[in-house]
Amino acid sequence: MIRMRTSWQEACWMRATEREGEANMWQELAAALNELNKVYRQLAEIGEKKRRALVAVDMKALEELLQQEEPLTRRIGELERRRRQVLTDLAAENRSIHTDTKLQDLLKLAPEGTVRRVLDQLFRELSENTAKVKELGENNAVLVKGAMQAVAWHLNRLGGASVEPAYGKEGEVVSHHRNFEFDA
């Protein structure tokens, strides 16, 4: 005997299916955040190695590290697109969510329980990891700038260019001549 579902049963089944779909989206978001964390941790390790290579002026090691860094930055782009797609899917289910919703605000909309705790922990880790990568990048940029200034100073010295301006008897600058073009 075939039983037909009543409209009430159909509505309950539809709500349960929607909740399952939404739960899968939250899990997909957690998976994307977890992958982002892994990649940012790898970038942080490379950033620390880059700092050591810059301090030691080991250009070969620096070049190898830059080659290792490139696929990781591409992977971050892919994971960010995946995260935005999940947010778009969640926004279709919940009008309070937008693709630009901050993760802290998103946590308030996540289902209570394990999913929310996992997302909260992943969000904190991601914040720490991105801050660490940003700080390492800024510190390495300072080291690169200092190294470039040192190279310019040594090239000027070797090329006979004056490091400081030379002044005439009335205080006017006599020479700003440099033997090398650094802006190339």
pLDDT in tens, 92-141: 888 888 777 788 888 888 888 888 999 999 999 999 999 999 999 998 88
Instruction: Using the structure block, give the residue that is written with the tokens 């004056």.
Output: 162
pLDDT of residue 68: 96
Helix (H) or strand (E) holding 167: strand 166-167
Mean pLDDT along residues 82-87: 90
Residue partners of 96: CB distance under 8 A and separation at least 6: 109
What pTM value is reported for the model? 0.70
Rg of the chain in Å (alpha carbons): 28
Which residue from 43, 57, 60, 65 is spatially nearest to 144, judged by alpha carbons? 57
Domains of the chain, first to last = 8-138 (1.20.58)
pLDDT > 60? residue 5: no
Total count of residues recorded for the chain = 184
Residue partners of 118: CB distance under 8 A and separation at least 6: 30
pLDDT band at 1 (very low <50, low <70, confident <90, very high): very low
